[in-house]
Structure 1
């Protein structure tokens, strides 16, 4: 009986983990909302928005060669999962005065998937 309960508990825990796993393919589809202004990958360049290679761990307003708003340069936030999630929901609320014109992504699962997709790209644009 104890073994049956332990097996059931393990299955429940593993199932919960799988259900909350991020979907990189879904994140790539979500990335299509960003592509009009941002680039990723080994050939990424700044466009309407800065290239996003190596975003996580980077300080806001620091991509070389990109002309940031004063608000973004002065925000001095370090991009991590929580900060990105808050920002991407409503960029103008997180950094008032940003020149990023985007309505935001409100769905938590979509944000998680997009985060997982972006995290694949190192500073050099190579998938890690």
Structure 2
């Protein structure tokens, strides 16, 4: 019984740690290369997708000079979706699952560590 409780406590600790894990922004910058063909992070101009400067804490679908948001992304923002760390984790792992109908042509990242690293990197880039 004691071993079962210890194992359960260990698994709970791992679960909580993965949700609040701090990523490595240096590794996140490298991993951002997968995003850079569509998203700008160093200046506020848009590419195929909206720029991601200041994305952490920003309402979904809200970059004013980006006219190509899908209706699904506009609706998600209008419904209150804000790109906090939890929402970004879900979106980066499966964009179409988090925002069904999004026009983003990316299937998602498989590695929780890579997602945490990208989020850590995004947090270093303030809004313009």
User: TM-score per shorter chain, which class?
Assistant: 0.7 to 0.9
Please report how far the alpha carbon of residue 121 of structure 1 lies from its aligned counterpart in structure 2 after TM superposition: 0.6
Counterpart position of 2:51: 51
Q: How far apart, in 1, do the equivalents of 2:24 and 2:41 lie?
A: 18
Give the secondary-structure state (helix, strand or coil) at the position aligned to 2:117.
helix
After TM superposition, the runs of 4+ consecutive aligned structure 1 residues lying more than 6 A away are: none
Q: Tell me the TM-score normalized by structure 2.
A: 0.78
Shift of 1:21: 4.5
Q: Quick one: distance in 2 between partners of 1:37 and 1:75?
A: 20
Q: What per-residue deviation string (whole Å, max 9, x for no partner) do you get for residues 38-58 of structure 1?
A: 0012x3311110000000111
Q: Distance in 2 between matches of 1:71 and 1:21?
A: 30
- Mapped to 1, the partners of 2:39 and 2:74 lie a distance apart of 17
Larger radius of gyration: 1
Indicate the RMSD between aligned Cα atoms, in angstroms. Answer: 1.4
Name 1:105's counterpart in structure 2.
Answer: 109
The question of whether the paired residues in 1 share the 8 Å contact of 2:22 and 2:120 is answered with: no
Query: Partner residue of 1:69?
Result: 70
Q: d(CA) in 1 for partners of 2:23 and 2:89? A: 14
Rate the CA distance shift 1:68–1:111 in 2: closer, same or farther, 3 A: same
Deviations 1:98-118 (A, max 9, x none): 100001112111111100001
1:81 equivalent to 2:63? Answer no
Distance 1:92 1:23, change over 3 A: same
Question: Which consecutive residues of structure 1, in runs of 5 or more, have no partner in the other structure?
Answer: 1-15
Residue 96 of structure 2: aligned partner: 92
Q: Which structure's relative contact order is higher, taking Cα pairs within 8 Å and 6+ residues apart?
A: 2
Q: TM-score, normalised by structure 1?
A: 0.78
